[in-house]
Amino acid sequence: MNLLISIIIPTKNEPAIETLISKITEVMKRLNVNYDILAVDKSDDDTQDKLRSLGIGILVQKSKGLGGAIVEGLNASKGDLVFVMDADLSHDPKFIPLFIEKYKEGFDVVVGSRRIEGGEVIGWGIYRKMVSGIANFIGRLGSGLKISDITSGYRLYRKTVIKSLDFQDFKTSGYAFQIEVLSKALNNGFRIGEVPIVFNDRAEGKSKLSKKDIFEFLLTSVRLGFRRFLRSLS
Ligand SMILES: Nc1nc2c(ncn2[C@@H]2O[C@H](COP(=O)(O)OP(=O)(O)O)[C@@H](O)[C@H]2O)c(=O)[nH]1
Ligand SMILES: [Mg+2]
């Protein structure tokens, strides 16, 4: 395959980043494809030092939130295909070939799903499971997206999708970006597919999901639902 694949990794104090990079490298070498890795970083620990010593490109994040980091990464990406994945080993690089297969079937965005046959979450407590379940229910209701795991951050975007989006026009800056970007890609006529992933809760470091992120997500779901309702009237 003669494509360039970019891998964007938002990082905010991630102790396991070196392990992740070595796993990605192993998978990409085996696939024998051209690739680059870009970390979009907002850390105040030694994450940047680790990345630098591995020769990984770093974009020091200027914007706010996870959504801001992903937008900066997508805008800077050069790949024909662009992966976004978490830095805490919850997103195992061994699933990368599955995403590429799905892309080859004709999908423009591929989401790694924990909620379809073969997908799974390992290590989450009841609170986190509830937050995720409710977010998916409300988010799907509002956005009209038919896929099973709209909050998943493990994704593959075709470059054409990224080029079609006007990120300046986005209302979200946190985790809610994940649903806004899918909703806009769908509205732009792109095909969104899913592949099953096994998601392991982080073993090191802390989750950055905040109450503010949850609130922004709910607000975004309601806003998307309201917009769809208005559109259905016209
Ligand atoms: N650059 C950047 N990365 C972030 C930010 N918030 C979260 N991340 C990264 O986004 C990924 C997902 O965050 P995480 O805390 O694991 O969320 P969770 O898996 O939903 O609990 C991780 O790689 C984080 O380091 C942010 O504000 N800026
Ligand atoms: Mg995580």
How confident is the model over 80-121, as pLDDT tens digits?
Answer: 999 999 999 999 999 999 999 999 999 999 999 999 999 999
> What is the per-residue pLDDT for 234?
84
Strands 109-113 and 155-158: antiparallel
Pocket, ligand 1, Cβ cutoff 6 A: 10-12, 14, 40-42, 61, 65-66, 69, 86-88, 90, 153, 202, 207-209
Against a cut of 0.95, is the pTM above it?
A: yes
Q: Atom of ligand 1 at shortest distance to CA of 88?
A: 23
DSSP secondary structure string, 8-64?
A: EEEESS-TTHHHHHHHHHHHHHHHT-EEEEEEEE--SSSHHHHHHHTT-EEEE--S-
Mutate to test the pocket of ligand 1, among 8, 12, 59 (most ligand atoms within 8 A of CB): 12
In order of start, what are the domains of the chain with their CATH numbers? Answer: 4-233 (3.90.550.10)
Helix or strand holding residue 49 (H, E): helix 47-53
Residue 1 has pLDDT above 80, yes or no: no
Residue 40 has pLDDT above 90, yes or no: yes
> What is the per-residue pLDDT for 217?
97
Mutate to test the pocket of ligand 1, among 17, 66, 212 (most ligand atoms within 8 A of CB): 66
Decide: 67 and 175 in contact? Cβ < 8 Å.
yes
Q: Which amino acid residue places its CA nearest to atom 19 of ligand 1?
A: 207
**Residue 140 is which amino acid?**
R
Give pLDDT tens digits for 170-202: 999 999 999 999 999 999 999 999 999 999 999
116-138 average pLDDT score: 96
> What is the per-residue pLDDT for 2?
82
Name the closest ligand to CA 209.
1
Name the closest ligand to CA 135.
1
